[in-house]
Amino acid sequence: MNEQNLIKVWDLPLRVFHWLLVAGFFIAYITEEELLSIHVWAGYLVFGLLVFRLVWGVVGNQFARFSNFLYNPIQAIRYVQAMLASKAKRYIGHNPAGAIMIVMLLSSLFITTITGFAVYGADQGMGPLASIGSADEKLWELAHEFSADFTLALVVLHVVGVVLESWLHKENLVKSMWNGWKKPLEK
């Protein structure tokens, strides 16, 4: 299928955001305390990307705007049920389950970065929360580790969803997040 038969869905800023977020999260996740400087900079990258995504969710193209793809949890559950029965409707942009996953991932990543700032402030006396004090360092560390692990679990679910959706609709969603193009809905 050539580009004349495809439509541009994911714009360049969203695609760059997505792949930088993947890299930033995994670099932060695997470095932890062993390579603290790299871990911290990866955390700052993730936080900056999240701020960008909030802005792009308001001013980006129609497929990036939150107002065009927010669904309620009931719609997401119904979509997953339909997907598991191989009867899910195809969407050009985010489907209801994907939209809920995006909200969960962004929220979890925000919690992970904020608790990371708190740990860095409590332990090292540095960063945007340097004045937090060390009294609750262990609590912040537990919250940070839990939220990072929870985010990783969400990432795994996200990837499983992408694989299932790609198989169900015979469409390479990873490729479309790389090049931005998707086939149009059939009439």
Confidence of residue 3 (pLDDT cuts 50, 70, 90): low
For position 1, what pLDDT does the model report?
47
Is 124's pLDDT higher than 80?
A: no
pLDDT digits (tens, 9 = 90+) for 16-75: 999 999 999 999 999 987 899 999 999 999 999 999 999 999 999 999 999 988 899 999
15: tokens are: 């695609």
Q: Could you tell me if 119 and 36 are in contact, meaning their C-beta atoms sit under 8 angstroms apart?
A: no
Is 156's pLDDT higher than 90?
A: yes
> Quick one: CATH architecture of 7-179?
Up-down Bundle (1.20)
For position 136, what pLDDT does the model report?
82
